[in-house]
Amino acid sequence: MALLRSSTVCENPVPTTCEQIPHIYSSSSCYGRFPQRQAIKALYCQPRSCVESRRRTWNACASLDAQENLAIKFVRHGSAVLEDVPHLTDWLPDLPTYDSPLYHNPAYATGRDFFVGPYDVVARNVVVPLHNPGNRVYFRRAGPSDKVYFKAEEVRACVVTCGGLCPGLNTVIREIVCGLWNQYGVRDIFGIEGGYRGFYARNTVPLNPKNVNDIHKRGGTVLGTSRGGHDTSKIVNSIEDRGINQVYIIGGDGTQKGAAAIYKEVRRRGLKVNVTGIPKTIDNDICVIDRSFGFDTAVEEAQRAINAAHTEAESCENGIGLVKLMGRYSGYIAMYATLASRDVDLCLIPEVPFYLEGEGGLYDFVQKRLRENGHMVIVVAEGAGQELVNSSESVKARDASGNQLLLDIGLWLSRKLKDRYNTRKEVLNLKYIDPTYMIRAIPSNAADNVYCTLLAQFGIHGAMAGYSGFTVGPVNGRHCYIPISRVTEMQNRVNISDRMWARLLSSTNQPAFIDADKKITEELELEAKSSAVLPDSAAIARDVPSQTTAERENSNGIILKHEPAQKTE
């Protein structure tokens, strides 16, 4: 869709009814982080509120958002609202423009119009009720512009990777370098080593198409990475001292928040510097965009672990293959790997609390499935069941990025199952496989390689066109430029009322764990009472999973655990 040229462009558009509030203001998920939006929603839901009061409140709240949300600009045309991204001319209005070098690039000389117009947009939602479509929210469509704000010889670009490893990092680095070099003629490109800390504590690495030619065939990142180390003032000082004017930041939720802080400081100092975010998370928990790079590769590689668990389980009496996959807050990898495998009997994700005891509980289902088939496979996301693994230490401990450190749900669940079958004097052969670090460290597959190429090239086009403080990604299959604050305000989680989760339940025939919260409370209270009568050492042993001599980690990082419970004569 293209917004008409007569559209009103302003930072503080004033709706006149509750229904005209853009999605970013009316979404209930945003209220906790942005209290001023509660005032907007309350005011506009009052039927007799005067227009002038609405105008004052809207402008005041939009002004706050200009500070908190990096000045998301709204372009309004009728019921359509474009959530636009910042541009260099917002604080440097007199910048000159130049014809795009792509006019002279043989790859773009086929006669087709490759350039996107300033009014080309992508719809946030494509499925709406026909009788009440409401306000439609749009993002700016990504692509090359016919006018650019940098000459090739004046560009000094840098690339940095932050956070955990993910398949595809090297591909994104390679395509940023090759895209700048081959499409726009940029020759001054270098990498920042070791994450954000590298801006002020490490030397830079010169990058060119020759030295990044085959890095996409390797896992990890050639630039190195780290968590934490973000010091906005030091980073922007380094950017200014080195003469950098394009910064490409590859990372997840926390990294993108850091990119937003860098953009705000750059804008405050009035620097001609683009800050472009490339969203990365193997868990697929970044909101707004369709998916994150590395996710497809992770699901594909998880199949190998599930297949191994299934083979082990079906080869022995009462065999259980237990596989722990990534997913701190979102269970997408576990869900898609389960659907792809069709060998999984039970999938546990953070979004669905589960309980052990009673009718419809995990123990009941495991016993039924073992009685029917003689074996089963369980897939559990790392963030599932943390409310059951009750430990005060787990709440306090956090990594350098501020993420809560989780206890090993896989070891905890395997111990619980073994204890139950030992108590019942029944045989149980359980193998526990944790392929987490194998999956993170592999190269990206073909689908992710193509996806990483698109992300990198669209990011370059946006930076050359003068946009800043944005991240790039596909929305409903079309790539667009999204304000950084939109992808960091909440996490993308599995919608358990969606058809995809229903498909999984119909595939595994697992319990839906109705009334799980109530059951969990009862189980925790019962465990607390039983722990109170045990010696301190015994209580610790019950709550904290510990490795035994039967657990061992091989060179591939897979933990195998095999402790068959013995029958008592």
Distance between CA 562 and CA 428 in Å, rounded?
9
Annotated binding-site members for substrate: 281-283, 326-328, 382, 437-440
Instruction: Give the angle 220-225-231 at the CA atoms, nearest 5°.
Output: 160
283 an active-site residue?
Answer: yes
274-279 and 246-251 strand pairing = parallel
What integer pLDDT is reported at residue 520 of this predicted model?
A: 67
Annotated binding-site members for ATP: 164, 227-228, 252-255
How high does pLDDT run on average in the chain?
81
Q: Each residue of 211-231: pLDDT tens digit? A: 999 999 999 999 999 888 889
Q: Each residue of 451-482: pLDDT tens digit? A: 999 999 999 999 999 999 999 999 999 999 99
pLDDT surpasses 50 at 550: no
Distance between CA 9 and CA 6 in Å, rounded?
9
Annotated binding-site members for Mg(2+): 253
What integer pLDDT is reported at residue 477 of this predicted model?
A: 93
**Which residue out of 188, 283, 408, 448 is catalytically annotated?**
283
Q: Which residues of 180-202 are buried (b: 16+ CB within 10 A; e: fewer)?
A: bbebbebebbbbbbbbbbbbbeb
What integer pLDDT is reported at residue 526 of this predicted model?
A: 66
Rg (CA), the chain: 26
Instruction: Give the angle 350-354-357 at the CA atoms, nearest 5°.
Output: 155
Q: What's the whole-model pTM score?
A: 0.79
Number of continuous H segments (helices) and E segments (strands) in the chain: 18, 20
Nearest to 419 by CA among 525, 520, 565: 565
